[in-house]
Structure formats: C-alpha cells, structure tokens
Amino acid sequence: MWGFRIDFLENSLSWLQRQFETFVIALGIGIGTYFALPFEPSLVLIGILALVLVGVCFFLVVKRPKFAMPIMLILLGVLGLGRAAWHSDAAQRPKLPDYERSYQVEGWIKAIEKSGPRQRWVIAVDEIQGIEPLETPDMIRVTTFDRSFGVTDYVQFRAELSSPPGPVIPGGYNPSFRAYFQKVGGYGFMVSKPQSVENAASIQTDRIAKRVTRFRYGLADRIRESAPEATAGLQVALLTGIRTWVPEQHTDALRAGGLAHILAISGLHMGLVAGSIYALVITFLVRISKLARRMDVRKIAAVVGIITACIYLMVSGASVATQRAFIMTVIVFLAIILDRQAISIRSVAVAAFITLYIHPEALISPGFQMSFAAVIALVVVYREWDKRRIYTGRKNWARRLVDNFKGLTVTSVVAGGATAGFGVLHFNRVATFGLLGNLLAMPIFTFWVMPMAIVVYLALPFGLEEGPLWLMGKGIELILFISNWVQNLPSAIKYLPSGPSWIMGVFGLAFIGLCLGRIRVKWASLAAMVVCWIFVFVQPHPDIRIGENGSVAFWQDGESPVLYVDRKNTDRYGRREFLEAMGVEAVETKNYKDSLAQCDALGCRMKFHGIKINIIADPTEIIDDCQNVDLVIMPKRKLGARAKRLCKTKVIDAGDLNKLGAHSLFIEGGSVRTRTARQRLAKRPWHNGYNDP
C-alpha cells in the first residue's frame, strides 16, 4: 500500500515537472484576467473557488486522471488571479484627492527625472501639512525649474498636487496604474522655492534607501566629471541606470535606429556584464592547473557571476526590468552550479514564474512581454540550430570572428522579429530600419561598449576610470553616428494605429503557441496573429476628441488630413496621444471657428460628417439648442438633471468629462458612439474613484 502511494506521488511529481511551462502559462492567464476585469474581484471568493478546485483535482487524480489536467489549469488560473488581487491589495497606499490643492510638503528627494527644461522630483514624503499621517502618501512626484538640490537632500516646499492622472484617451497609457504600484500618491508642480531643512523624521529603512541612492547618484556625478561631455549622459545611463542626463536628440536617434533598448538596463546588459565576468574568471581559473583538475571551475565562476549580477542590480537602480533580468541571470548560473542545462525553455519558465509572483503587474508591461518574447524565440531558434549544426575541429581566429558575427546577426534578427509585434502594439510605431541599425551597432555595443563598462567598474576604486570612459565614449559615438544615419533615411519611423484592448492578450498567447506548440497549435497561433493585425487596421477610428479640460478637436481624414481645434495650445499631450493611436505622426492644425463652424457668443454650430453639432458656452438656451441637432457638447458647464431630461438629443457636458475623463466620439451612419478614458477603470484600486458618490 505504501509502495503504491510512493509510486503515485513520484508519478504525479514527474507529471507536474513535465507540464511546468503549461502551468506558468495558465498562471499568467489568470493574472492577465485580473487586470482585464472591469471590477475588483473578492479575495474571499477567489480563495473559496481555489479550495473547491483543489478538492476536485484530488478527486479526479485518483478517479479520473485524464480529466485532472484541465481542472488543474483552471486552478492555476484562479491562483494567478488571486495572487494579482492580493498583490494589488498589498500595494495600496494613501492617495491625494483627485482635485488640485496647495500643500506644504516635507521629505527627501528620492530621484530626479528629466522633463524638458524642467525636472521631476520623486519625493519620499515625511509630512504633508493638513493631512493625517495615516492618510499621507508614501511618495509624490513634482515638477520644478529648481536645480539647486540633489538626490537625498531633505527639502520643504509648497506644491499644487492631486492624485495621479488617468489615461487621456480610451485604452491609452494610464499613469495612475504605474503610480499605484510604485506607491506614488500624488502628482503636481512646485509653486514655491524649495528650502533645505533638517531631517527630523527619517526611519531606518529610509537611511538604507538614502545610502543606496546617494551612492548611485554620487557614482553618476563621478562618471559625468570624467567621461567625454558628448556621451556622458549615455554612459551614466548604461553604468547606473540613471537617464536624467541623456540628451533628447540621443534618445530620438536611438529610437529611430531601433536601438532604444540599450538605454534600459535589462537582460542584454545584465547578461553581458555578469557573463563577461564569468568568462574572465573561468579563463583565469583554468590557468591554475591543480585547481582546474580537482574542481569544476565553472561553478566557482558562476558564484562570482551571481555576485556580479547582485552588484549590478544595486548600482543600476533595481527597476522591475532589471530585477527580471537579474532573476533570469541567477537561474542560468544556478543551473551551471547544479549541473543542469543553463539555457532552456524550463529556465525561462522558472524566471517568468518568479517574476510574475513578485510583480504580477509586470505581465502587462512592454518590458516583460518584449524581453521574454526575445528570450523564448532565441532559445527555440538556437535549439533547432544546434540540432543541425555540424561541429568541426579547432578554428582559427578568422573563423571564430565569422561565427561570432553570424551568431550576433541571427540574434538581432530573431530578437528584433520577436519583439517587433509587441513594440508596435504598445507604442504604435516601428523603426523601419531597426534591423539594419542593430546589425551595424550591436557588435560595437557587445564587443566594445559593454566590455569597457566592466573595465570602468574595475577602475573606479583606484581612480583610473578616465581612460576606460574615454574609450567607452568612442564606442558610443560610433553607435550614435549609426543611429543618426538610420534616422535620416526616408520613413525611418512609421506610425501604425492601435488596436482593441483584447489584442495584446490574444497576440501574446498566439506568440507562445507559435514558439512552443505542436504543428497544429503553431498554425492556429499564426492564424490568430494574422487576425489580430487585421483588427488593428480595420477597426474604426474616432472622429471627435473632447479632452478632460473641455477642449474639442475634430479629425478630418483624407489626402490632406486636418485636425480642427478650438485653441492650438491646449490639450497638446492628449491630442498627440489621440493622433498616435490612429497611426498619425503630425497633421495640419486649424481652428474650427474659422472654417468649420458658425460661432457667436453663445457657442458654435456645425455640420460634421453628416451630423449636426452644437458646442454651447451658455446653457440658458439649452432647450432651443437641442432642437434638430444630433449632438450637444457643453464642455465648460454641467447641465442640470431637468434640462438633460428635456433635451432629447445626445449631450456631453462638463460633468461627464469630470466623471469619465476624455471622450472619443465615433460617427457611424448618422449616429454617435462614445468611448471614454475612465469608463472601465472606476472600480479598480489604482483608479481614484471618480464614480464615488
């Protein structure tokens, strides 16, 4: 009897091990479901459902084993849903009200970010006057012109603050989502000159955070002083992860050349740094013959590689993307220590599982999707390549150089192809000659820039970093030269329209099926990806935008597209997002009062795409304005309930904008369909409760 139970347990564990990748996918589907829901699920109900499914699984494993797998996948999906809900609940911190108000703030500067001619300070808050300690946000972000303070300085100032804003277009980027998981509870701008004050309320965790932050920014200052002025900002970004001093023109050039990924500390950087140290340690240890004969020096080098990865994680700021790269790097080195295959789909699945458990919100981020897509595609391609490779004897240096270039070319093509779809769906643009830019620049980055970065780290303790920084800068200058050349090619960046919100999930699952599935699954996945792209290009685009501040814009497509606006300098960010979502980079802007509408002191009247529209400034004649029109827009005033009932046509007023955010209007067959920026966000914890009573 006991023998049967042991055999059953061993068989079950073996089966679970074989299906691990499938289970991670099921877990990810559960997490994705949580973030797609229009309401917040109950943790209690999720727990009860999980317990019921556990009981059903045990019963089926004993009685009906062939039916156990589907139920277990559903169970893992529920566990993913529960983990995401639990993590979101744990991440909840106080937020400021959604209306702007002046506050007196005390805290220390945790980070300084660039914002055009201004700076954005991330403040670790100690006190906000007038707010109870339990209701005080952990952090806020303020914009300022002041440049007299540095990171970790303790400051006091007055600022106009409100809760982090929501998206400016339906389905667009949501700053409040990112701020929620970063524990930032307020956005705003400084209205007084900051004053330095004594830090009287710092706790131990703040002291540790300050020391790490002070070390990173001190290192950045030292690098900027010693590095060539033209490339110092990029060198600081690569060595410390701080992008404050990267010139905007460098960012634009790298983006046009398909090389923007080198700015984010990710798997590429972590792998090159830790992998290079690993190779150097092995090269040194194999020269010690007695040690090399008695021990597997790869394991010693792997331990050194893990230590190197830990140091690089701390120095580079430990962002979520860097944490993800660190986890993957450590898993590879642990596989070497445990005599397992270092690079495999299993190791990728383990890294994805750990990342999703720690940061479930990472699943829907571009960085997670693009980095894991690249790694999965590379593992699959190199696995097939390795099966067909013909091994030869000892190679001379020329042959090795050719093989390295061939491998780098394949890596660039595969990684670029794997991430291109996700990049387009997230950012609505594609670097047309990105493959060319990567083929020309990545050998320089891989074999010149990053090795010199390692030399810089080794030279810093001895004060000898100036020479390595100069050599590193020369390599970066070559990369910038290539990026600028690619940027100046015709149509270097193409803009594409954004698709419906469900496309990202379907496309991601289809990509996994294409890489890991059997032949029928591959064909089905390829068909699903084609369907996704069809929906991207055939879905209708909005004709009218009404910003949250009440600004109105009309989109006129055609050979010479025009955006008709009320004022050219209002709602600039929202209109740019509106155009980019349609795949439009820039258009001619005209005032609709000059050509499209007939206006007077009470408002404007026009006929646009076959419907009659009234834009009302004064609601005193609302009943007359509602007659014989298809749409009434009252952007600056809230219409009374009685007047809204008497008006038989569609009305959008300031109350709707305040409650639901910006509106995108679609004119279809003489009728108007509306999508709002906050329609699906009102009951999620990262939303500020615009629908509260």
Look at residue 291 and tell me whether its pLDDT is greater than 90.
no
> How far are the Cα atoms of 52, 268, 424 from residue 31, in angstroms, in the given order?
19, 26, 23
Q: What is the reported pLDDT for 343?
A: 74
Look at residue 596 and tell me whether its pLDDT is greater than 60.
yes
pLDDT tier, 151 (very low <50, low <70, confident <90, very high otherwise): confident
Average pLDDT of the residues in 595-619: 84
Look at residue 2 and tell me whether its pLDDT is greater than 50.
no
E strands present in 129-211: 139-144, 154-162, 184-190, 195-196
Reported as a single tens digit per residue, the pLDDT across 357-373 is 999 999 998 888 888 88
Reported as half-sphere exposure (CB side, CA atoms, 13 A), residue 152 has a value of 13
Average pLDDT of the residues in 617-623: 72
pLDDT tier, 139 (very low <50, low <70, confident <90, very high otherwise): very high
Other C-beta atoms closer than 10 Å to the C-beta of 46 total 20
Look at residue 30 and tell me whether its pLDDT is greater than 90.
yes
In this structure, which amino acid lies at residue 474? K
Reported as half-sphere exposure (CB side, CA atoms, 13 A), residue 660 has a value of 16
> End-to-end distance of the chain based on CA atoms, in angstroms?
63
Average pLDDT of the residues in 590-609: 85
Sheet with 588-591: strands ordered across: 588-591, 562-565, 552-556, 544-546, 663-668, 671-676
Average pLDDT of the residues in 15-43: 86
Q: What is the reported pLDDT for 260?
A: 83
Reported as a single tens digit per residue, the pLDDT across 548-589 is 888 999 998 877 889 999 888 888 888 988 988 888 877 888
pLDDT tier, 351 (very low <50, low <70, confident <90, very high otherwise): confident
Task: Decide: 40 and 82 in contact? Cβ < 8 Å.
Answer: no
Look at residue 201 and tell me whether its pLDDT is greater than 80.
no
Q: What is the reported pLDDT for 414?
A: 81
Average pLDDT of the residues in 622-642: 80
Alpha helices by DSSP H, listed for 338-396, are 345-358, 366-388
Average pLDDT of the residues in 419-437: 85
DSSP single-letter state for residue 559? S
Look at residue 660 and tell me whether its pLDDT is greater than 90.
no
Q: What is the reported pLDDT for 18?
A: 67
Average pLDDT of the residues in 136-165: 91
Q: What angle do CA 338, 342, 345 make, to 5 degrees?
A: 120
User: Are β-strands 118-128 and 101-115 bridged in parallel, bridged antiparallel, or unpaired?
Assistant: antiparallel
- pLDDT mean across residues, the chain: 84
pLDDT tier, 691 (very low <50, low <70, confident <90, very high otherwise): very low
Closest by CA to 472, choosing from 219, 215, 234, 245, is 234
Which contiguous run of DSSP H or E holds residue 31?
helix 20-36
In this structure, which amino acid lies at residue 384? E
Hey, where are the domains in the chain? 2-90, 101-202, 219-384+396-495, 503-538, 544-676
Task: Decide: 533 and 506 in contact? Cβ < 8 Å.
Answer: no
Closest by CA to 168, choosing from 576, 684, 618, is 576
Q: What is the reported pLDDT for 682?
A: 62
Q: What is the reported pLDDT for 550?
A: 87
**From CA 522, how far away is CA 529, in angstroms rounded?**
11
Look at residue 218 and tell me whether its pLDDT is greater than 70.
yes
Other C-beta atoms closer than 10 Å to the C-beta of 102 total 12
CATH of 101-202, one of 2.60.40, 1.10.10, 1.10.238, 2.40.50: 2.40.50
E strands present in 51-179: 101-115, 118-128, 139-144, 154-162
Q: What is the reported pLDDT for 4?
A: 45
**From CA 690, how far away is CA 681, in angstroms rounded?**
9
Reported as a single tens digit per residue, the pLDDT across 392-412 is 656 666 776 677 677 777 777
Closest by CA to 173, choosing from 661, 674, 599, 690, is 661
Query: Higher pLDDT residue, 385 or 195?
Result: 195
